[in-house]
Structure 1
Amino acid sequence: MNKIRVRVANWQKDIADLRRIREAVFINEQQVPPELEWDSDDADAVHFLAYEGDYAIGTARLLLDGHIGRVSVLKDWRGLKVGDALMNAAVSEAEKRGLKQQMLSAQVHASAFYERLGFNIVSEEFLEAGIPHVDMVRDS
């Protein structure tokens, strides 16, 4: 296994990898309707791609207001700290941009992962795309 690396992606140039990963995780695995997965925020967001070697295996995005989302790792690479690497990159980029607070809507089953990274639950549970979520916040 190669070392996992994360880089800032370009929405136009890297769209094939970004779409392949998000479609596999959200649309195929979790049955999120495509019209809910793709939105106008993608064009302005800072996107991240995680790689093992030359193969893209995970993605995340940072919106200009500090919201982190679309964190996704292909099934075969889960449990290998790919999500940690993506989140660390997104938080680091947010801080570099002066965004002192990072926010996200976490699937409830993943909330402990985000808590380990310094996020705190700030909402009651709610459904998004039919999946239980909570809002979470991290202050730098």
Structure 2
Amino acid sequence: MIMKTYPQNVIERVEDLTAPLAIRTEVFVEEQGVSLAEEIDGQDGACVHWLARDDRGPVATLRVAPMGTTAKIQRVAVLRRARGTGRGAALMRHVMAALAAEGFVRAKLGAQVDAIGFYERLGFVAQGPVYDDAGIPHRDMTRDL
């Protein structure tokens, strides 16, 4: 059997949404029970998509919705096999550096409450009350770039 190999630690912008949507479907729809209709919200075309790969293929994704000088980071998803490896944090750091280089001054996101600690370690600060998004408690967070 021929095994497809991928370069390690690759983080890139992507226009082909096949891998990002597959990751998001596995994480949000299959694992967390979000409906496919809520996950595929019609906003992907207005966003910039990022993908992280390891030596076995795509492992993490996110999308960014530009909002003036603020970048709204959305749909951050890491496959179960890559959680705890630092790939999600590496993706976030890479994207935030790229956003700063492009002139964005602030990043914001709606974090699942269970992931707030992850984002705090990346410099985000929680703001406002907890709210429901797709049946999952979330809280807004921001960070200067």
| TM-score, normalisation: structure 2 | 0.88
Distance in structure 1 (CA, Å) of the matches to 2:52 and 2:30: 20
Distance in structure 1 (CA, Å) of the matches to 2:51 and 2:37: 22
Say how many residue pairs are matched: 136
Distance in structure 2 (CA, Å) of the matches to 1:40 and 1:98: 26
Distance in structure 2 (CA, Å) of the matches to 1:21 and 1:87: 16
Residue matched to 1:95: 100
Distance in structure 2 (CA, Å) of the matches to 1:137 and 1:21: 24
Question: Rg larger in 1 or in 2?
Answer: 2
| TM-score, normalisation: structure 1 | 0.91
User: Offset of 1:128 from its aligned partner?
Assistant: 0.5
Q: Which sections of structure 2, spanning at least 5 residues, go unmatched?
A: 1-6
Q: Which sections of structure 1, spanning at least 5 residues, go unmatched?
A: none
Please give the root-mean-square deviation of Cα atoms over the aligned residues, in Å.
1.3
Q: Partner letter of residue 98 of structure 2?
A: E
SS in 2 for 1:80: coil
User: Which structure shows the higher strand fraction?
Assistant: 2
Distance in structure 2 (CA, Å) of the matches to 1:42 and 1:81: 25
User: Offset of 1:54 from its aligned partner?
Assistant: 5.7
**Deviant stretches of 4+, over 4 Å:** none
Matched, 1:112 2:111: no
Residue matched to 2:21: 19
